[in-house]
Amino acid sequence: MAKPDSDAKDQAELQKLLNELQDFACSLVDKAGGFPPIGGTVDIAGQVGLVVEGTPVATKSGQEQLNKVLDALRQEAAPPTIQAAGLTYMATVGGNPAARTPAVISSLHHRSGMLVDVILPYSRDAKGKVTFGEQSIQDGSLRILAP
């Protein structure tokens, strides 16, 4: 995940976080068909921690579940020893409503200020086999860490 104008250590921390979040999320997509929003952090020693908020409740909207995990993630990521934080969730992507595709989206924020969104589309065939597509990286907008 190369972003111009960023420090190699910052990128390595974001990549480590992305790998953990995507691996966990993709295994749940493959085995269970989906996953609730999950958060993660990387501390100054390079340790990754996951943040989840219990079992999704059918009466809560996806946005409510996402906000609950984001609130918990922001609390977990508050100490200055946390270098990076990310939120991974499922959404559909694509401009044309008839051609929208499901995706695993990871919004990452590094303490240096770097914000990145990583989008990993996937499809499921008639037999239920999941195929992940080409991931894309774009500038992010979700600020998780306090300035």
- Both tokens of 93, joined, read 């992507």
Instruction: Kindly state whether residue 31 falls inside one of the protein's structural domains.
Output: yes
Instruction: Kindly state whether residue 2 falls inside one of the protein's structural domains.
Output: no
Question: Amino acid identity of 146?
Answer: A
* Eight-class DSSP state of 5: T
Indicate if the pLDDT at residue 40 is higher than 70. Answer: yes
Distance CA 19, CA 24 (A): 8
Instruction: Kindly state whether residue 14 falls inside one of the protein's structural domains.
Output: yes
pLDDT at residue 136 in the model? 94
Question: Residue 58 — very low, low, confident or very high, per pLDDT cuts 50/70/90?
Answer: low
Q: What is the mean pLDDT of residues 7-12?
A: 90
Distance CA 67, CA 125 (A): 31
Indicate if the pLDDT at residue 67 is higher than 90. Answer: no
pTM: 0.87
Q: Specify the number of domains making up the chain.
A: 1
Phi and psi at 24, nearest 5°, equal: -65, -50
Place of tokens 């500038």: 139
